[in-house]
Amino acid sequence: MVAERAGVSVATVSRSLHNDPAVVAETRDRVLRVCDELGYVPSPAGRRLKQGSKAVVGLSLGVQDHAVSRYVSLMHQALTSQLAASGWSVQLIRADEFKARLDVGGLILIGVLKRDPRLAMLRGSDIPTISIGHETGGFCLAPDDAEGGRLAARHLIDSGRKRLAVLHSHDIEGSVAQRVRSFIDQAKMQGLDPLRFDSEVATSPTLQGYRTMARALAAGASFDGLFCETDELAVGAVAAIEDAGRRTPQDIAVIGFDDLPEFADRLTTIRQDIPRLAEAAIDLLAEARRGENPRAVLLPVELKIRETA
Terminal alpha carbon distance of the chain:
47
Domain with CATH 3.40.50.2300 in the chain: 145-272
CATH class of 145-272: alpha beta
The residue count for the chain: 309
Q: What is the DSSP string of 236-288?
A: HHHHHHHHTT--TTTT-EEEEEE--GGGTTT-EEEEE-HHHHHHHHHHHHHHH
Coil, strand, or helix at residue 129? strand
Sign of CA dihedral 67, 69, 70, 76: negative
Q: pLDDT (tens digit, 9 = 90+) per residue, 21-65?
A: 677 878 877 877 777 666 555 544 344 434 444 567 888 876 554
Residues 6+ apart with CB under 8 A from 188: none
For domain 1-40, the CATH superfamily is: lambda repressor-like DNA-binding domains (1.10.260.40)
Domain with CATH 1.10.260.40 in the chain: 1-40
| 11-15, 166-170, 181-185, 265-269: the lowest-pLDDT one | 11-15
Write down the pLDDT at residue 42.
Answer: 53
Write down the pTM of the prediction: 0.79
Write down the pLDDT at residue 55.
Answer: 62
Say how far apart CA 110 and CA 78 lie, in whole Å. 12
Q: What is the DSSP string of 245-256?
A: T--TTTT-EEEE
Write down the pLDDT at residue 3.
Answer: 72
Q: pLDDT (tens digit, 9 = 90+) per residue, 124-176?
A: 778 888 988 875 678 999 999 999 999 999 999 999 999 999 999 866 666 78
